[in-house]
Chains A and B, each alone.
Chain A
Amino acid sequence: MIEQIEFIYSHSPQLLFGFPGQRPGGLLLSVMLAILAIVIGFFFALLVGAGQQSRSGPVRWVCQRYIDIFRGLPLILLVIIIYQLGGVRILGFDINPLAAALIALVLYSSAYQAEIVRAGLLSVPRQHVESARVLGSSPLRAFFTVELPYALRVMTPAFVGQAISLFKDTSVLVIIGAAELMTITRAVLGSDITNLQHWITLYLFVGLLYFGIAYAVSLIARRWEEKSRSSELVHSLTTY
């Protein structure tokens, strides 16, 4: 038992932050990838989500197909397609696994986020937008100053949920070796037969790391949501 704990203790720096002297890896990279993908994905989602409500048929069609395709494919397949086809076949050189991972996560996540954006935009009361228009603001300005801030507040809990799910999904990046937590776990265990006894403790530890972050964020989000809901109620009572 002592031996097992020592094994985990001696490898925890790699598991948490990646191998020394290299780019950040491990748990830190998993978290960074999830945050980056959710933030970049938001801009794609905004385009696609708004495009779904466009008056132009072809635009709506393209946006709908975008969502269908990236939601219908398993993430692991998307990652491999971008890594192998995007790199060697299209660009003609090996794409960095990290770049492929980020692109795949952004495309995958943005399809889910687009649905959230659409629901969020639909929840904005029409009167708010119309009042802004009557007061003389341009459609674009009304979108950014009235619609978006309102919708963002509605969308935030769903985005946090999406970020947690994306954080867990970073584990599939092990298939291209993107140096995130699962890749490092595999590297630490290696093919050394004497490490077989450490499999169970190490995977329990890694499971605990994922659980810790995901559960903590979901608890914080839940508390924050309750708080903001009550403050929103107060806000609506004082305004109207």
Chain B
Amino acid sequence: MSLEWLSPETIKLLLEGLYLTIWLTAVTSVLSLVLGVVVGSFRLSKNRILRWSAAAYIEIHRNIPALVLIIFWAFAVPQLFPADLRRVIFFDNPLIFQIETVTGLSVPYYTLAAGIALTLNTSAYLAELYRAGVGTISQNIVDAARTLGASNWILMSRILIPRGLGAAFPAISTRLIHHMKNTTLAALVATPEFFHSTQTAISRSFRAVEYLLLAAAVYLVLSSLYAKLLRWIEDYLNRRPSFNRVQITPLEGAQNLVLE
């Protein structure tokens, strides 16, 4: 098989796309994990208004397809503003140019919008998973920590978040891999990520077979690498001896966590 279809320019184009895909996946994965934990904690809150608004947030962003969210944020939201204001806010915004100087990526508003939409979509799923993970934490541990005088902050940062995430992590990994695959949807709002650069390469060379199979191989490798990375994080999160496995009392377990 000859590789003459893979010219230096297209290699550069594809690598730039790959670079943006990796950046987009990394940044939005972290953001949606953080947002998911925040919304999930609101969902568990005793305050009724917080709880209901978190539930509404979750249901809205889970039940609307990611693609609709992306197009909505990228193309529809700017139409809310009159033309001159739109230019200033979305396209000539110095904040948007700041991103370029930091990451070396040229990030037009459409790319940002795709990132926002993907973050909203995935964070809704992660919030539910985090809530389920917190549900598996034994009430004894929480009570014991409270008895030891742990503040809300200590309880959250030492027990609820690490253990909740650890328990739900297999499901969270599945969702994050799905999220990585969803970044291809950003191509539909002209984000120059890998799928988009594949399409550009095809339209320049009319070599659909080669580029599509190459893209398929790249995405398969990317998803298995991402799965490996997430498995590693999962092991890291669950590396502390769990008091369910090691035979110590909940009080001792909480003491270890709170007082360490």
Chain A contact residues, CB within 8 Å of chain B: 68-69, 71-77, 80-81, 84-85, 88-89, 164, 168-169, 171-172, 174-175, 182, 196-197, 199-200, 202-204, 206-207, 210-211, 214-215, 218
Partner of A89, one of B62, B80, B208, B219: B208
Could you tell me if B212 and A215 are in contact, using CB atoms closer than 8 angstroms? no
Residues of chain B in range 164-215 having any CB-CB distance to chain A below 8 Å: 181-182, 184-185, 187-188, 195, 208-209, 212-213, 215
Given contacts A74-B181, A84-B208, A172-B67, could you give 19 more A-B pairs where the C-beta distance is less than 8 Å?
A71-B223, A72-B181, A74-B219, A77-B215, A81-B213, A81-B216, A84-B212, A85-B208, A85-B212, A89-B208, A164-B63, A171-B65, A174-B67, A174-B188, A202-B76, A207-B69, A210-B63, A214-B62, A214-B64
Given known pairs A85-B209, A169-B65, A171-B67, the reply for A200 and B80 (CB within 8 Å) is: yes
| Chain B contacts for A171, CB-based, 8 A | 65, 67-68
Given known pairs A171-B67, A207-B64, A214-B63, the reply for A76 and B195 (CB within 8 Å) is: yes
Could you tell me if B72 and A76 are in contact, using CB atoms closer than 8 angstroms? no
Residues of chain B in range 55-73 having any CB-CB distance to chain A below 8 Å: 59-60, 62-69, 71-72
| Chain A contacts for B224, CB-based, 8 A | 68, 72
Could you tell me if B71 and A203 are in contact, using CB atoms closer than 8 angstroms? yes
With an 8 A cutoff between CB atoms, is B105 at the interface?
Answer: no
With an 8 A cutoff between CB atoms, is B97 at the interface?
Answer: no
| Chain A contacts for B181, CB-based, 8 A | 72-75
Partner of A182, one of B60, B62, B68, B80: B68
| Chain B contacts for A71, CB-based, 8 A | 223
Could you tell me if A77 and B68 are in contact, using CB atoms closer than 8 angstroms? no
- Main secondary structure on A side of the interface with B: helix
With an 8 A cutoff between CB atoms, is B237 at the interface?
Answer: no
Q: Closest CB-CB distance, B180 to chain A, in whole Å?
A: 8
Given known pairs A69-B220, A72-B223, A89-B209, the reply for A207 and B72 (CB within 8 Å) is: yes
Given known pairs A74-B195, A77-B195, A199-B75, the reply for A207 and B68 (CB within 8 Å) is: yes
| Chain B contacts for A164, CB-based, 8 A | 63
| Chain B contacts for A214, CB-based, 8 A | 62-64
Partner of B216, one of A77, A169, A202, A210: A77
Could you tell me if A76 and B185 are in contact, using CB atoms closer than 8 angstroms? yes
C-alpha gap A223/B91 in the complex (Å): 47
Using CB atoms, name the residue of chain A closest to B62: A214
Could you tell me if A211 and B188 are in contact, using CB atoms closer than 8 angstroms? no
Q: Closest CB-CB distance, B211 to chain A, in whole Å?
A: 10
C-alpha gap A68/B177 in the complex (Å): 12
C-alpha gap A140/B12 in the complex (Å): 55
C-alpha gap A135/B80 in the complex (Å): 71
